[in-house]
């Protein structure tokens, strides 16, 4: 259909449209009009991709001087493929409707293995690739250097963007080998190498001294935490190494290796690591922390000193993107609370909006189970983890659910250790045996091959009627990448609140930094992070409006307003006051009723006029009025 | 939506969706009903428990079924403990089935059902049925899991090739494998909301399904034996064993009368039956007459707003004042009926009372 969005003609390659798609495109247009950045939250499975593409392509055609390029960044290769599919459909629609073959060039770049730096990228109107191409300094320079300012950048499924710090942090161990990637400002690259390390012998001697110093630092008996400037001062005091030559270490080493014509650089990876570390620590005075741990917390008797050099500031990698490009849109199904992103990533958006799904029938059923049948409170709080009654109640919940939910159930735990402990306990109590009479049980482990096999068998069991349960972890591979559509996930159980391991020193340092720089309270950030992961996990079960599923939050803490309020709006609006602190039995009753309702026939005609619109229905006054209520501005 | 209100909507939906063109339906149906007897049937969300409720409804079903499909046959299979076994064989006599169903109330519900084994068991008999008859399986499934010894998708392909139509009534929730099974074989899949909905869904299967276009030719050979009653003093009377008692536990009894197959003179005590000796279908004329209305269904009445009526506003059938918003009128005699009578006429009577009156009146 051809839409008119505030005067812009948009070609939309489908005959029907969801009201929220229209609302989304409206907000998007306003963001582009204002030439600013936007944060938009819309549930997955509601046609976000095609809405983005349709509107931005239409904008490009209407205002070719304002927007020269669309850079669409996604996370995984399957997602990129989906985007390309939709793009193809859109292009075909254009050709069919306008009768002329369009001269749009779209490029898709796949995994890092197939790195492509062909100059054609400069002429492309649309580029689809993974985040790394834009953010990871190793590649960004090669690929994205020439991208013009008047481009629109879209980060899809962008909820993980806060963890960009992985790109830049650097870990040095006495025993292990890692590779790092320096982010160097241009000024350093232009300056000349200082005299003290210009000759090869001097440079090698310099590196030796630095290495000895590092070794001595690693021989501490207790944990040390210091900022980069403190570290540099200490270096100067102990071994008289200045800041300036340190900055050029990485470059100097590279040129030395080139001169010696070393073929296999892998032999020198340890030295490269040290030189990169030296460069980084001397370049950035703010935003990095050094933590030296003499041993791992869990094995205090084994000496295993590690030096962590971590980036505290998530905005360092992405700030150049916000500054360089005219409009950056961050979008995902789980971005609540939206105001965290502008604060942490240090940018000012012109739009921040959250969209809900219009539903002809309510296809999700979020329930908060806070108590067992014996009224014992359920929680994954550290203090209550070993509590026999809590474990038994969790087991009972899973057992009851396995008897009433058809096909597949996915259960998420807060950590591998917790999952292992609980499952062992259940085995002893005989709960696992009872569950297995209803459904088969599969478990995710830290081994990728095992997990793939488990996933495959799980899907098979869901297909052929035996039914299965998949036990996995909230921050694991499964929760990030796999969708459990339709029968693969009829219920998702969240056992506990998935807080990240709070005793980690790096995390503590990061929280302190966020508190000092951005005035974000530690508790707020931790809760935000935990709730986002929880929403991510339960969101896996619903992909689209004909899909339906149960979302069980099994922890009494979810009922509190500060946690509930951090769930995405499209989940929150279906939690009513009656489902806040249910016992296992009550939850089972509600679930049974819900599943029966969902099993009744539901045809497209039932949706028309409500959650699915034809062009005529869209343009009626009444509908346009309703659409304005879908977007919730923050 | 409450179930009473929902029921009303459902009924009117099925009424308005009726074809006015007579559609050829299957007359000779071979239907296997598979009843789940697994652990989950002990659940008490249907009173007194699922099994008892199901068996009770099945008794009503069997009665009604033979009423509407006099020359069809039914067989009952139960499944539990990963196995399937026949409760009753395919037969045209309702009494046998009802007796078995009444006894089955005492079965112990244990283990998990096996869809594969049930379907396989049914196929063993159904595949020998002639091509002009229908082959159907109706599964009443309460459990959400099934223990199958082999790939059920292969079996689904076999079912398709044998033209067996499988339908499922679920008592708990929607299971994927049932959705695929019913879709591929052309059957229907419903999940019950409550007891009255269960009854409704079950009764939907009494109506014969439309004949598939690929069924073979439609001329069927049938025999119409007369019932003879002879006394010992008759000279021609010869005692004979009734063939229908061949496999019953009460010993074979000699009888003087009965129904004699016109082709081979084998004796039977009841009709309808398929002759065991020569394979001829034996029926009586009233049996066929009962399914007449499926061949020539009553036309849907014309709905019109009550305001358009001139003269007295009362229903021709029940003589009550017309209070509804719309009325129905018969296209041939133009008599006017209220909503309730219209439903009754189409569901039970199958003929317009005023047309009949006019026909029989002098």
Strand pairing class (A408-413; A468-473): parallel
Strand pairing class (A491-495; A549-554): parallel
Strand pairing class (A37-41; A349-355): parallel
Check: CB of residue B328 under 8 Å from CB of residue B339. yes
Test A404 with B172 for CB contact under 8 angstroms. Answer: yes
Q: Tell how far CA A276 is from the center of its chain.
A: 27
Test A600 with B175 for CB contact under 8 angstroms. Answer: no
Residues 122-151 of B with CB under 8 A from A: 144-148, 151
Contacting residues for B138 by C-beta, under 8 A, at least 6 apart: B31, B32, B33, B34, B166, B167, B168, B169, B205
Of the two residues A177 and B3, the one the predictor is more confident about is: B3
- Number of Cβ within a 10 Å radius of residue A447: 10
Burial of A484 (0-12, 13-18, 19+ CB in 10 A): buried
Can you tell me the mean pLDDT for B8-31? 56
A464 touches chain B (CB under 8 A): yes
HSE-CB at A307 with a 13 A cutoff on CA atoms is 28
HSE-CB at A605 with a 13 A cutoff on CA atoms is 1
State pLDDT tens for residues A561-590. 889 988 988 899 899 888 899 999 999 999
Check: CB of residue B86 under 8 Å from CB of residue B93. no
Is the pLDDT at A183 greater than 60? The verdict is no
Count contacts between A and B (CB, < 8 Å): 69
What stretches of A60-124 adopt beta strand conformation (E)? 69-74, 106-108
Q: What are phi and psi of A276, to 5 degrees?
A: -65, -45
Test A465 with B146 for CB contact under 8 angstroms. Answer: yes
CA distance A589 to chain B (A): 11
Query: Pick from B126, B186, B138, B132: which is nearest to B162 by CA?
Result: B126
Where does A176-199 have alpha helices with state H? Answer: 186-190
DSSP B210: B
Is the pLDDT at A157 greater than 90? The verdict is no
Query: Pick from A493, A490, A539: which is nearest to A368 by CA?
Result: A493
A404 touches chain B (CB under 8 A): yes
* Chain A hits for B146, Cβ within 8 Å: 465-466
Is the pLDDT at A551 greater than 80? The verdict is yes
Pick the range with the lowest mean pLDDT from A87-91, A499-503, B79-83, B358-362: B358-362
- CA torsion angle for A130, A134, A138, A143 (degrees, to 10)? 90
Can you tell me the mean pLDDT for A277-302? 79
Of the two residues B232 and B203, the one the predictor is more confident about is: B203
Query: Which residue is listed with tokens 């790109």?
Result: A167
State pLDDT tens for residues A366-398. 999 999 999 999 998 888 888 899 999 999 999
Q: Tell how far CA B241 is from the center of its chain.
A: 31
In this prediction, residue A171 carries a pLDDT of 46
Check: CB of residue B139 under 8 Å from CB of residue B76. no
CA distance A394 to chain B (A): 21
Query: Distance (Å, rounded) from C-alpha A397 to C-alpha A89?
Result: 45
Q: Cis (ω within 30 of 0) for the bond into B48?
A: yes
Is the pLDDT at B107 greater than 60? The verdict is yes
Q: What are phi and psi of A27, to 5 degrees?
A: -60, -40
Q: Copy the structure tokens of residue A624.
A: 């346009």
Is the pLDDT at B13 greater than 50? The verdict is no
Check: CB of residue A154 under 8 Å from CB of residue A28. no
State pLDDT tens for residues A398-430. 999 999 999 999 999 999 999 999 999 999 999
Query: Pick from A403, A434, A379: which is nearest to A585 by CA?
Result: A403
Beta bridge mates, A175: none
In this prediction, residue A432 carries a pLDDT of 95
Query: Which residue is listed with tokens 């590690």?
Result: A306
Query: Which residue is listed with tokens 């196995």?
Result: B83
Query: Pick from A585, A540, A558: which is nearest to A495 by CA?
Result: A558
Could you please report the per-residue DSSP string of A345-371? HT--EEEEEEE----SS--EEEEEEEE
Can you tell me the mean pLDDT for A581-602? 94
Can you tell me the mean pLDDT for A207-220? 87
A592 touches chain B (CB under 8 A): yes
- Number of Cβ within a 10 Å radius of residue B129: 17
Query: Which residue is listed with tokens 């790092």?
Result: A180
Is the pLDDT at A31 greater than 90? The verdict is yes
In this prediction, residue A593 carries a pLDDT of 94
Where residue B171 falls (left for φ over 0; alpha for ψ -120 to 50; beta otherwise) is: alpha
Can you tell me the mean pLDDT for B204-220? 72
Work out the mean pLDDT of chain B and round it to a whole number.
82
Residues 142-171 of A with CB under 8 A from B: none
CA distance A392 to chain B (A): 23
Query: Pick from B318, B145, B351, B93: which is nearest to A409 by CA?
Result: B145
Query: Distance (Å, rounded) from C-alpha A412 to C-alpha A417?
Result: 13
Can you tell me the mean pLDDT for A75-96? 86
Query: Pick from A104, A606, A49: which is nearest to A362 by CA?
Result: A606
CA angle, B247 as apex, B245 and B252 as ends, to 5°?
40
B357 touches chain A (CB under 8 A): no
Query: Distance (Å, rounded) from C-alpha B121 to C-alpha A448?
Result: 42
Query: Pick from A303, A309, A302: which is nearest to A274 by CA?
Result: A309
% chain A with pLDDT above 90: 31
In this prediction, residue A369 carries a pLDDT of 95
Is the pLDDT at B237 greater than 80? The verdict is no
Is the pLDDT at A208 greater than 80? The verdict is yes
Test B177 with A404 for CB contact under 8 angstroms. Answer: no
Q: Copy the structure tokens of residue A623.
A: 């509908």
Q: Between the CA of residue A329 and those of A32, A146, A151, A568, what are the distances in Å?
A: 9, 20, 11, 18
Pick the range with the lowest mean pLDDT from A51-65, A276-290, A615-629, B203-217: B203-217
Query: Distance (Å, rounded) from C-alpha B267 to C-alpha B255?
Result: 9
Q: Between the CA of residue B109 and those of A324, A522, B15, B102, B143, what are the distances in Å?
A: 70, 56, 38, 15, 11
Helix (H, G, I), strand (E, B) or coil at A548: coil
Is the pLDDT at A176 greater than 50? The verdict is no
Q: How confident is the model at residue A179 (pLDDT cuts 50, 70, 90)?
A: very low
Residues 476-495 of A with CB under 8 A from B: 486-487, 490
Comparing CB atoms, the residue among A438, A465, A596 nearest residue B193 is A596
CA distance A493 to chain B (A): 18
Q: Across A213-227, A287-301, A502-516, B149-163, which has the greatest mean pLDDT? A: B149-163
HSE-CB at A9 with a 13 A cutoff on CA atoms is 6
Burial of B232 (0-12, 13-18, 19+ CB in 10 A): exposed
CA distance B35 to chain A (A): 17
In this prediction, residue B2 carries a pLDDT of 35
In this prediction, residue A175 carries a pLDDT of 32
In this prediction, residue A115 carries a pLDDT of 55
ipTM above 0.85, yes or no: no
Q: What are phi and psi of A17, to 5 degrees?
A: -140, 145
Of the two residues B168 and B307, the one the predictor is more confident about is: B168
In this prediction, residue B103 carries a pLDDT of 94
Query: Pick from A61, A91, A3, A79: which is nearest to A70 by CA?
Result: A61
Q: Tell how far CA A364 is from the center of its chain.
A: 23
Query: Distance (Å, rounded) from C-alpha A226 to C-alpha B23?
Result: 86
B99 touches chain A (CB under 8 A): no
Q: Copy the structure tokens of residue A246.
A: 């340190």
DSSP A383: G
Query: Which residue is listed with tokens 């922890």?
Result: A555
Q: Cis (ω within 30 of 0) for the bond into A186?
A: no
Test B148 with A464 for CB contact under 8 angstroms. Answer: yes
Is the pLDDT at B214 greater than 70? The verdict is no
State pLDDT tens for residues B123-163. 999 998 887 788 999 999 999 999 999 999 999 999 999 99
CA torsion sign, B191 to B196 to B198 to B200?
A: negative
Is the pLDDT at A60 greater than 60? The verdict is yes
Query: Distance (Å, rounded) from C-alpha A248 to C-alpha A44?
Result: 46
Helix (H, G, I), strand (E, B) or coil at A315: helix
% chain B with pLDDT above 70: 82
Provide the whole-model pTM.
0.81
In this prediction, residue A172 carries a pLDDT of 43
Check: CB of residue A356 under 8 Å from CB of residue A349. no
Contacting residues for B37 by C-beta, under 8 A, at least 6 apart: B51, B78, B79, B80, B107, B109, B110, B113
Chain B interface, best mutation among A362, A405, A406, by max B CB count within 10 A: A406
Strand pairing class (A288-293; A306-311): antiparallel
DSSP B246: T
B154 touches chain A (CB under 8 A): no
Work out the mean pLDDT of chain A and round it to a whole number.
84
Strand pairing class (B267-268; B258-260): antiparallel
* Chain B hits for A406, Cβ within 8 Å: 144, 172-176
Q: Copy the structure tokens of residue A381.
A: 């709080």
HSE-CB at A192 with a 13 A cutoff on CA atoms is 4
Beta bridge mates, B134: B29
DSSP B25: B
- Number of Cβ within a 10 Å radius of residue B216: 10
Residue A407: closest C-alpha in chain B: B175
Query: Distance (Å, rounded) from C-alpha A546 to C-alpha B89?
Result: 41
Burial of A546 (0-12, 13-18, 19+ CB in 10 A): middle
């Amino acid at each position: 259909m051809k839409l008119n969005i505030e005067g812009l003609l948009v070609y939309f390659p489908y005959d029907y449209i969801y009201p929220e798609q229209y609302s989304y495109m409206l907000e998007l247009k306003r963001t582009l009009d204002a030439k600013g950045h936007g944060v938009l939250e819309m549930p997955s499975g509601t046609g976000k991709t095609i809405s983005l593409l349709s509107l931005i392509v239409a904008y490009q055609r209407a205002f070719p001087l304002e927007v020269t390029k669309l850079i669409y960044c996604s996370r995984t290769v399957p997602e990129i493929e989906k985007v390309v599919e939709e793009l193809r459909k859109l292009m075909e629609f254009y050709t069919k409707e306008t009768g002329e073959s369009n001269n749009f060039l779209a490029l898709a770049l796949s995994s890092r293995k197939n790195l492509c730096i062909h100059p054609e990228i400069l002429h492309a109107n649309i580029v689809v690739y993974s985040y790394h191409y834009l953010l990871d300094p190793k590649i960004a320079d090669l690929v994205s250097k020439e991208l013009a300012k008047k481009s629109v950048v879209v980060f899809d499924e962008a909820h993980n963007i806060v963890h960009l710090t992985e790109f830049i942090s650097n870990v040095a161990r006495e025993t292990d080998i890692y590779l790092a990637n320096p982010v160097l400002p241009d000024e350093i690259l232009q300056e000349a190498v200082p005299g003290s390390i210009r000759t090869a012998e001097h440079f090698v001697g310099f590196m030796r001294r630095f290495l000895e110093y590092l070794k001595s630092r690693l021989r501490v008996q207790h944990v040390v935490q210091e900022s980069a400037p403190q570290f540099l001062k200490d270096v100067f005091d102990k071994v008289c190494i200045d800041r300036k030559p340190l900055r050029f270490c990485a470059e100097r080493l590279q040129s030395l290796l080139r001169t010696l014509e070393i073929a296999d650089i892998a032999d020198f990876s340890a030295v490269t690591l040290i030189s990169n570390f030296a460069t980084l620590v001397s370049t950035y005075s703010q935003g990095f922390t050094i933590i030296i741990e003499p041993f791992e917390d869990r094995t205090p008797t084994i000496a295993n000193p590690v030096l962590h050099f971590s980036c505290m500031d998530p905005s360092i990698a992405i700030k150049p993107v916000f500054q360089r490009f005219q409009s950056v849109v961050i979008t995902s199904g789980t971005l609540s609370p939206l105001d965290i992103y502008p604060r942490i990533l240090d940018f000012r958006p012109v739009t921040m909006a959250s969209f809900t799904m219009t539903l002809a029938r309510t296809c999700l059923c979020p329930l908060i189970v806070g108590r067992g049948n014996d009224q014992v409170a359920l929680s994954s709080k550290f203090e209550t983890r070993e509590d026999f009654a809590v474990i038994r109640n969790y087991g009972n919940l899973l057992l009851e659910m396995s008897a009433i939910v058809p096909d597949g159930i996915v259960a998420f735990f807060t950590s591998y250790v917790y999952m292992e402990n609980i499952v062992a306990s259940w085995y002893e109590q005989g709960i696992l045996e009872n569950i297995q009479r209803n459904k088969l049980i599969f478990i995710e482990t830290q081994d990728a091959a095992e997990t793939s096999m488990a996933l495959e068998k799980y899907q098979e069991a869901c297909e052929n009627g035996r039914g299965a349960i998949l036990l996995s972890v909230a921050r694991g591979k499964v929760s990030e990448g796999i969708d459990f559509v339709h029968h693969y996930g009829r219920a998702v159980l969240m056992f506990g609140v998935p807080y990240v391991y709070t005793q980690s020193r790096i995390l503590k340092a990061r929280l302190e930094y966020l508190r000092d720089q951005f005035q974000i309270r530690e508790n707020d950030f931790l809760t935000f992070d935990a709730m986002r992961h929880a929403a991510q996990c339960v969101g896996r079960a619903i992909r689209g409006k004909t899909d339906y599923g149960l979302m069980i939050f099994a922890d009494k803490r979810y009922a509190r307003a500060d946690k509930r309020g951090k769930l995405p709006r499209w989940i929150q609006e279906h939690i009513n006051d009656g489902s806040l602190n249910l016992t296992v039995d009550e939850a089972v009753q509600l679930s049974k009723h819900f599943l029966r309702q969902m099993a009744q026939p539901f045809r497209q005609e039932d949706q028309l006029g409500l959650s699915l619109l034809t062009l005529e229905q869209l343009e009626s006054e009444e509908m346009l009025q309703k659409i304005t209520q879908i977007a919730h501005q923050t | 939506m409450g179930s009473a209100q929902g029921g009303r909507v459902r009924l009117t939906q099925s009424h308005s969706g009726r074809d006015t063109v007579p559609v050829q339906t299957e007359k000779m149906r071979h239907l296997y009903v598979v009843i789940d007897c697994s652990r989950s049937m002990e659940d008490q969300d249907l009173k007194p428990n699922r099994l008892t409720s199901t068996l009770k409804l099945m008794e009503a079903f069997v009665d009604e079924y033979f009423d509407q499909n006099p020359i069809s046959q039914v067989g009952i299979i139960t499944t539990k403990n990963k196995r399937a076994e026949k409760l009753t064989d395919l037969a045209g006599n309702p009494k046998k089935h009802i007796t078995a169903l009444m006894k089955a109330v005492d079965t112990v519900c244990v283990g998990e059902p096996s869809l594969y084994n049930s379907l396989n068991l049914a196929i063993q008999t159904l595949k020998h049925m002639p091509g002009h008859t229908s082959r159907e399986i109706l599964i009443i499934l309460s459990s959400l899991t099934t223990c199958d010894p082999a790939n059920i998708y292969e079996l689904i392909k076999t079912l398709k090739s044998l033209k067996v139509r499988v339908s499922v009534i679920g008592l708990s929730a929607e299971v994927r494998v049932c959705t695929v099974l019913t879709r591929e074989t052309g059957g229907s899949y419903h999940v019950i909301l409550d007891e009255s909905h269960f009854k409704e869904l079950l009764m939907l299967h009494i109506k014969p399904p439309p004949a598939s276009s690929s069924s073979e030719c439609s001329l069927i050979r049938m025999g119409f034996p007369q019932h003879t009653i002879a006394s010992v003093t008759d000279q021609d009377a010869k005692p004979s064993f009734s063939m229908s008692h061949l496999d019953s536990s009460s010993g074979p009894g000699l009888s003087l009368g009965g129904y004699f197959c016109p082709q081979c003179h084998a004796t039977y005590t009841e009709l309808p039956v398929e002759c065991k000796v020569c394979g001829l279908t034996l029926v009586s004329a009233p049996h066929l007459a009962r399914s007449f209305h499926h061949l020539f269904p009553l036309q849907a009445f014309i709905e019109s707003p009550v305001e358009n009526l001139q003269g007295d506003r009362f229903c021709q059938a029940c003589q009550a004042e017309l209070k509804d918003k719309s009325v129905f009128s018969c296209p041939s005699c133009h008599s006017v009926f209220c909503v309730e009578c219209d439903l009754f006429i189409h569901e039970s009577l199958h003929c317009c009372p005023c047309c009949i009156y006019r026909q029989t009146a002098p």
